[in-house]
């Protein structure tokens, strides 16, 4: 492939301007929304012992079985995080009682060795939250509402929320047995993977993307039908609370989610702009197994790259958030160049965005750069202006120009 040498690895991207301005807007608003719900930011390392992920996400999940970047530099096998919940729980487990009733959020890169396509990357970014604590339908509903607030703050419209339940941990054997029995008559018609999944992890058959498997799944009872009254009642309470908060959701009993740590409520947010990879966010209640400790909680993660695809479909792009305003200094001659270096430092010290050419260039070339920088005003100085302690101020939007004493610069801009 041509120019491969200068491309990032397959499935990974550089994020230059102007796209980065959209990322910065999203990060800033995410921090504001999460802070308003009482969450604190947490940053954990990209690398963890592989067991942190194996135990909590589930040994038979695709993410753990096929998608982790792992290596063994010394005694322990390590992996680059494929998601944010496991590492967050590893951290909270070390904080004793306080960790069992915590609210944290993260904005971080994740790594999955997947087949890259639109909306599916090998390095992608998640903004996520986790709230630890015993199962409580109100906490689950609040997490869903929080996620909705985040999408609203970004200006994203047209997304839909699907909700379901994985039931109580005690329901699992009953659900698995019921599904197995229902699927047996169709076993030979299932894809090869699902024939294996029936015994290994039967819930995975329910969310198999294969069309012929989907047809069979449509004919059998949903997992919810094998669950206890308590599990169904829990979901009803979540829906009631969402209703009270005015958050619209649809119940999809076939929604499973790809990770094994979920119990009770699970949800996914999709957007029509995303095509095949239509989930832009997912979350749920979980019980994370860390070997010596199990931590209950609820949380979600939104994929930045997919959210951006959806935002762009809504007409929102990086250009709209490019830094603008500020000053561009034009220097005509060596003396003005030195004086402008000094002036630029003074302006920047006052927090004013300020740029200039650092070599003697023609007026035309400097004005072109000024235009590209998005500066609201251009300040022009040559030998005469330096001697007379004056300057020329040009308003870029109106195209007007005026002379002013240097001492009045700050008042005039
Ligand atoms: P997840 O559904 O695996 O959940 O990922 C959440 C979101 O990350 C997805 O909806 C998607 O937007 C994005 N995502 C996942 N894989 C890729 C990929 N290969 N390329 C681009 N985007 C991707 C979790 O990771 C859970 N930890 C969420 C959670 C937090 N549940 C409870 N707390």
pLDDT in tens, 226-256: 999 999 999 999 999 999 999 999 999 999 9
pLDDT at 39 over 60: yes
d(CA 114, ligand 1 centre) in Å? 13
Residue with tokens 């494929």: 82
Residue 413 banded pLDDT, cuts 50, 70, 90: confident
Q: What span, in angstroms and rounded, lies between the C-alpha atoms of 340 and 129?
A: 47
Residue located nearest, by CA, to atom 17 of ligand 1: 120
Task: Write out residues with Cβ below 6 Å of ligand 1.
Answer: 83-85, 112, 114, 119-121, 124, 126, 128, 130, 258, 279-284, 286, 299-301, 303, 305-306
Residue located nearest, by CA, to atom 2 of ligand 1: 282
Percentage of the chain surpassing pLDDT 90? 91
The answer to whether the CB of 197 falls within 8 A of the CB of 62 is no
Residue located nearest, by CA, to atom 15 of ligand 1: 303
CATH 3.40.50.800 fits 323-412, yes or no: yes
Question: Which 8-state DSSP code applies to residue 224?
Answer: G
Atom of ligand 1 nearest to the CA of 279: 10
pLDDT at 2 over 80: no
Q: How is domain 4-168+227-319 classified at the CATH fold level?
A: BirA Bifunctional Protein; domain 2 (3.30.930)
Question: pLDDT tens digit string along 367-387?
Answer: 999 999 999 999 999 999 999
Question: pLDDT tens digit string along 255-273?
Answer: 999 899 999 999 999 998 9
Question: pLDDT tens digit string along 336-353?
Answer: 999 999 999 999 999 999
Average confidence score pLDDT of the chain: 95
Mutate to test the pocket of ligand 1, among 116, 120, 306, 311 (most ligand atoms within 8 A of CB): 306
Question: Looking at residue 63, what is its pLDDT?
Answer: 94
Residue located nearest, by CA, to atom 16 of ligand 1: 120
Helix (H, G, I), strand (E, B) or coil at 3: coil
d(CA 230, ligand 1 centre) in Å? 28
Q: What span, in angstroms and rounded, lies between the C-alpha atoms of 355 and 324?
A: 12
pLDDT at 276 over 90: no
Q: What is the DSSP string of 9-60?
A: PTT-----TTHHHHHHHHHHHHHHHHHHTT-EE----SEEEHHHHHHHH-TT
Parse the chain into domains and list their residue ranges. Answer: 4-168+227-319, 323-412
d(CA 300, ligand 1 centre) in Å? 8
Question: pLDDT tens digit string along 95-137?
Answer: 999 999 999 999 999 999 999 999 999 999 999 999 999 999 9
d(CA 116, ligand 1 centre) in Å? 15
Indicate if 323-412 has the same CATH topology as 4-168+227-319. no
d(CA 265, ligand 1 centre) in Å? 16
Residue located nearest, by CA, to atom 21 of ligand 1: 120
């Amino acid at each position: 492939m041509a120019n491969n040498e200068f491309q990032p690895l397959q499935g990974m991207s550089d994020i230059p301007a102007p796209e980065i301005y959209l990322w910065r807007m999203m990060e800033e608003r995410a921090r504001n929304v999460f802070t308003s719900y009482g969450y604190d930011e947490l940053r954990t390392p990209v690398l963890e012992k592989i067991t942190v992920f194996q135990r909590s996400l589930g040994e038979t999940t695709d993410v753990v079985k096929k998608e982790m970047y792992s290596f063994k530099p010394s005694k322990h096998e390590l992996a680059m995080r494929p998601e944010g919940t496991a590492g967050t729980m590893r951290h909270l487990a070390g904080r004793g009682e306080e960790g069992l009733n915590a609210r944290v959020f993260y904005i971080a890169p994740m790594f999955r060795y997947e087949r890259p396509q639109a909306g599916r990357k090998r390095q992608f970014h998640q903004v996520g939250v986790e709230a630890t604590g015993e199962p409580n339908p109100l906490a689950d509903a609040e997490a869903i509402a929080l996620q909705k607030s985040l999408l609203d703050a970004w200006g994203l419209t047209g997304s839909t929320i699907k909700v379901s339940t994985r039931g109580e941990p005690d329901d699992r054997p009953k659900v698995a047995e019921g599904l197995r029995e229902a699927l047996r008559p169709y076993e030979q018609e299932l894809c090869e993977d699902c024939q294996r999944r029936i015994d290994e992890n039967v819930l995975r058959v329910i969310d198999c993307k294969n069309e012929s498997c989907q047809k069979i799944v449509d004919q059998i009872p949903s997992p919810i039908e094998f669950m206890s009254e308590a599990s169904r009642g829990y979901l009803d309470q979540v829906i009631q609370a969402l209703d009270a908060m005015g958050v619209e959701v649809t119940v999809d009993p076939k929604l499973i989610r790809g990770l094994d740590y979920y119990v009770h409520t699970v949800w996914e947010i999709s957007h029509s702009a995303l095509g095949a990879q239509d989930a832009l966010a997912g979350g749920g209640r979980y019980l994370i197994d860390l070997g010596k400790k199990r931590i209950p909680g609820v949380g979600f993660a939104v994929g930045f790259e997919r959210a951006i695809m959806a935002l762009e479909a809504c007409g929102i792009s990086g250009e709209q958030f490019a830094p603008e305003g500020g000053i561009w200094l034009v220097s005509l001659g060596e003396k003005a160049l030195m004086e402008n270096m000094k002036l630029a430092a003074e302006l920047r010290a006052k927090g004013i965005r300020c740029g200039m050419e650092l070599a003697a260039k023609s007026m035309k070339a400097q004005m072109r750069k000024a235009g590209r920088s998005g500066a609201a005003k251009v300040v022009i100085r040559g030998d005469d202006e330096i001697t007379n302690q004056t300057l020329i101020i040009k308003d870029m939007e109106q195209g007007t120009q005026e002379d002013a004493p240097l001492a009045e610069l700050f008042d005039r801009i």
